[in-house]
Amino acid sequence: MSLYRPVKIGSLEIPGNLFLAPVAGYTDRAFRSICWDNGANFSFTELASAEAISRKHGRYGLDPKDLSQGRRGAENAEEDKGDDPNIISINLIRRGDREKLYAIQLFGGNPDTIYQAASLLTPLKPDALDINSGCPVPKVVKNGAGSALMKNPANLGRIVEAAVRASRESLGNIPVTIKIRSGWDSSSLNYLECARIAVEEGAAMVTLHPRTRAQGYGGRSDWSHIAELASRLAVPVTASGDLYTPEDAQQMLSETGCAAVMFARGSMGNPFIFSAARSFLETGSWEQAPFSERIAAAMSHLEMLAADIGERTACLEMRKQFCAYTKGITGGAGLRDKVVRAATIEEYRQIVNSYKS
Ligand SMILES: Cc1cc2nc3c(=O)[nH]c(=O)nc-3n(C[C@H](O)[C@H](O)[C@H](O)COP(=O)(O)O)c2cc1C
């Protein structure tokens, strides 16, 4: 039987098991749509602050009016660039134009705030609500959120319970899921305990990124933790960590017994990884997308992003993404040198058109 198969997360039926991970600064709604065009089966927003959503804070935070009126929030684009994780705009958590199934990921350390924020998401109609329990960034963990939740499993349980309650009361009982790490550090590998508590409180899927908070994003992720967790849990386990190729996805699915895989850094600039992985899982072969398709995807990404956050900000944002799209291509370095100075969509277009592969 093919390793490409459907996944059932609570009441949510997902036709395939190739997911796009939440990646802050990369998996914007434009990129998520492009991943759907290329075969992603489920996608996650980057982490969004429950504090910001729940706080009525006008321009400096997400005003609940933005949610109910579906405001695009482009006028708040500049605030998005700040360093404060509590300042976000509606674009972070809106569904992408072609994103069929998506989860909004919230972070927070206070169950009441999670409850309030989740309850405000009704107008956005997410298909699932994901709790971030893995973010290692100091400004997130200092408030007891992200991976710090793993230092306090009882609070992690309360957070999941609050999200499940909000989902039942305000979100049509969509599944609540959680994304965890292996633990805070190597002396506290408590992913089994945290996952068990989350499921007891109603989590319908657990994603495991098997690195500790102390490891950040370095070194190798320990896939044996995923196998261990998948053998214990009654709900689906989604695997994250070092998935860069279709072969990696196949190995992860066959070695660990996980229900789904989640591409993160492996999908940056490479939304084609989903169709390639599906092809590999179903037929045993896959083909690299040609340069022309990669550039077309990058330009379409830029145009969609500009519609959301304005051309100037999108052109700046897109520089790092463009570097990812052109990684490994002949002459890519020359292209990247020019692109890091491009300030308008037209400049991007001219640079790309002048490129001869
Ligand atoms: C720049 C960056 C931003 C990330 N942002 C998030 C996030 O917002 N929420 C989350 O749960 N994980 C986030 N992650 C973790 C990824 O979703 C993923 O679990 C991790 O990168 C491991 O997968 P990989 O080794 O295949 O990249 C981020 C990772 C990176 C590199």
pLDDT score for 60: 42
Q: Do 288 and 277 touch, CB atoms closer than 8 A? A: no
The 10 Å Cβ neighbour count of residue 310 is: 14
Report strand pairing: 176-183 vs 48-49: unpaired
Dist. CA 351 → ligand 1 center (Å): 30
Q: Is the CB of 105 under 6 A from ligand 1?
A: yes
Q: Where are the beta strands (DSSP E) in the chain?
A: 7-9, 12-14, 18-20, 42-44, 48-49, 102-107, 128-133, 176-183, 205-212, 237-240, 260-263
- So what's the pLDDT on residue 280? 98
Helices and strands in the chain: count of H runs, count of E runs:
15, 11
Whole-number Å distance between alpha carbons of 216 and 317: 23
pLDDT at 70: 54
Q: What is the pLDDT of residue 82?
A: 46
Q: Ligand 1: which residue has its CA nearest to atom 15?
A: 23
Supply the residues annotated as catalytic: 135
For the beta carbon of residue 134, count every other beta carbon within 10 angstroms.
Answer: 25
Q: How many Cα atoms sit within 13 Å of 218 on the Cβ side?
A: 3
- Digit-coded pLDDT (tens) for 194-250: 999 999 999 999 999 999 999 999 999 999 999 999 999 999 999 999 999 999 999
% the chain with pLDDT above 90 = 81
Give the dihedral of Cα atoms 228, 230, 232, 236; nearest 10 deg.
160
- At 132, phi and psi to the nearest 5? -80, 115
Q: Is the pLDDT of residue 117 over 50?
A: yes
pLDDT value for 79: 44
* Residues with Cβ within 8 Å of residue 239, at least 6 apart in sequence: 207, 208, 223, 226, 252, 253, 256, 258, 260, 261, 262
pLDDT of residue 167 exceeding 60:
yes
What per-residue confidence (pLDDT) applies to 159?
Answer: 98
Handedness of CA 276, 332, 243, 9 (dihedral sign): negative
Largest CA distance in the chain: 58
How far apart are the C-alpha atoms of 45 and 23, rounded to whole Å?
8
CB of 130 closer than 6 angstroms to any ligand 1 atom: no
* Pocket flag, ligand 1, residue 85 (CB < 6 Å): no
CA neighbor of 223 nearest in space, from 279, 266, 262, 176: 262
End-to-end, the C-alpha distance of the chain in Å comes to 40
Q: Residue 117 — φ and ψ, nearest 5°?
A: -65, -45
**Nearest residue by C-alpha to atom 30 in ligand 1:** 23
17-73 residue pLDDT tens: 999 999 999 999 999 999 999 999 999 999 999 998 988 544 445 565 666 655 554
User: pLDDT band at residue 146, thresholds of 50, 70 and 90?
Assistant: very high
Q: State whether the Cα torsion 271-274-279-284 is positive or negative.
A: positive
What distance in Å separates the CA atoms of residue 260 and residue 7, rounded to the nearest whole number?
7
Going along the chain from its start, the domains and CATH numbers come out as 7-283 (3.20.20.70), 291-353 (1.10.1200.80)
Among 18, 19, 20, 23, residue to substitute to test ligand 1 (most atoms within 8 Å of Cβ): 23
| Predicted local confidence at residue 327, as pLDDT | 87
Q: What is the helix (H) or strand (E) element at residue 280, kind and residue range? A: helix 273-283
Region 318-326: mean pLDDT is: 91
Between CA 301 and CA 303 the distance in angstroms is 6
Question: What does pTM read for this prediction?
Answer: 0.94
C-beta of 209 in contact with ligand 1 (< 6 A): yes
Dump pLDDT digits (tens) for 258-267: 999 999 999 9
Q: Is 179 in the pocket of ligand 1 (CB under 6 A)?
A: yes
Q: How many residues does the chain have?
A: 357
Choose the residue to mutate in 44, 179, 265, 273 for probing ligand 1, maximizing ligand atoms within 8 Å of C-beta. Answer: 265
Residue 94 has pLDDT above 70, yes or no: yes
pLDDT of res. 59: 41
How far is the C-alpha of 152 from the C-alpha of 160, rounded, in Å?
13
* Position 76 pLDDT exceeds 80: no
Determine the residue of 212, 240, 273, 323 to mutate for testing ligand 1's pocket, defined as the one with the most ligand atoms within 8 A of the Cβ atom: 240
Whether the CB of 241 sits within 6 Å of ligand 1:
yes
Query: From the CB of 181, is ligand 1 less than 6 Å away?
Result: no
